[in-house]
Amino acid sequence: MPTCRVAWKQAWRIIASRYPPIRLFERLTTDQAVWDALIALEQLTNPRIRDEIGDIALVPPDERVGGPGASWVMAAFTHVNPNGSRFSDGAYGVYYAAAEIETAIAETVFHFEAFARDSADPPRSEDFRVLVGPVDETFEDVAALPPAQRTALLDPDSYAASRAYAQTLRAAGANGVTYPSVRHAGGQCLGAFKPTAVGIPRQERHLAYRWNGERVDRYFDYAGDAWIEL
C-alpha cells in the first residue's frame, strides 16, 4: 500500500461549537501511568464524567494524548458517530482534517446539509469551531492507488469500499489515510486513526453556517465579521 509523509503546519478541522472541550483530557499529562487511575477516580466521584469522556477504551493507552488542547483530538476517538463516516463503520473514531480551510468548510458544509435535510430542519444557523494544528506523520496515500481502487474509495455516494479499506489499514497499525477531497476540487484531506498521528490543535475562529431550508447558502466568518456566499 503506497504511503506518503504528510507535513502540514496547519491542518484545518471544523466541529460544531456545541461540543465543549473535555476538561479531564485538558488536565491530563502525557504520563500514561496516571491515565487509568485518574479517570477511574473521576468516574467514581462524578458519574457525569463517564458521559463527558466517552468510551476511553476505544483508545489504547499508548495512543492517548493529554494536556491543553488534547480534548479536540481525543474526542474524535472517544465520542464516535454511530452512523460512521467515509473511513469508519461507526465502531471507531477518525480525526478528519484538511490542508486548507476552504476544503474543511466544503466538507463540513456537505455533511451539515445532509443532516439538516434528513431532519427536515427549518431555516436556521449553527455555529462551528475552527481548529488548526500541525501534522507530521506517514499516512496511506489514496491518490497513489490504482485508478479503479481510488475511484471506489472516493465514491461520493457510497462508503462501502472506503470503510473496508480503512478496517484493513487499522488492523495493520496504519496512522491513517490522506486523500483528495470529494467535496472540494483540488483539496487534500486526511483521516487519522489514532490521536498520536496528529498534533494538538488550537482554536482559530468560529463560523456560522446558514441553512435556508434547502441548502447552506452562506456562512458567517466571526474573524472577518462578514457573511460569505456559497
- The string of pLDDT tens digits covering residues 169-225 is 999 999 999 999 999 999 999 999 999 999 999 999 999 999 999 999 999 999 999
**pLDDT tens, residue by residue, 67-121:** 889 899 999 999 999 999 999 999 999 999 999 999 999 999 999 999 999 999 9
pLDDT at 67: 83
Q: In the chain, what are the domain boundaries?
A: 3-19+79-105+132-201
Q: CA-based diameter of the chain, in Å?
A: 54
Q: Which residue has the higher pLDDT, 8 or 29?
A: 8
Which pLDDT band, with edges at 50, 70 and 90, does 51 fall under? low
pLDDT digits over 176-187, tens only? 999 999 999 999
Q: What share of the chain is helix, strand, coil (3-state, %, to 5)?
A: 35, 30, 35
Residues 157-170: pLDDT tens digits?
Answer: 999 999 999 999 99
Phi-psi region of 160 (alpha: psi -120 to 50; beta: other; left: phi over 0): alpha
pLDDT at 21: 80
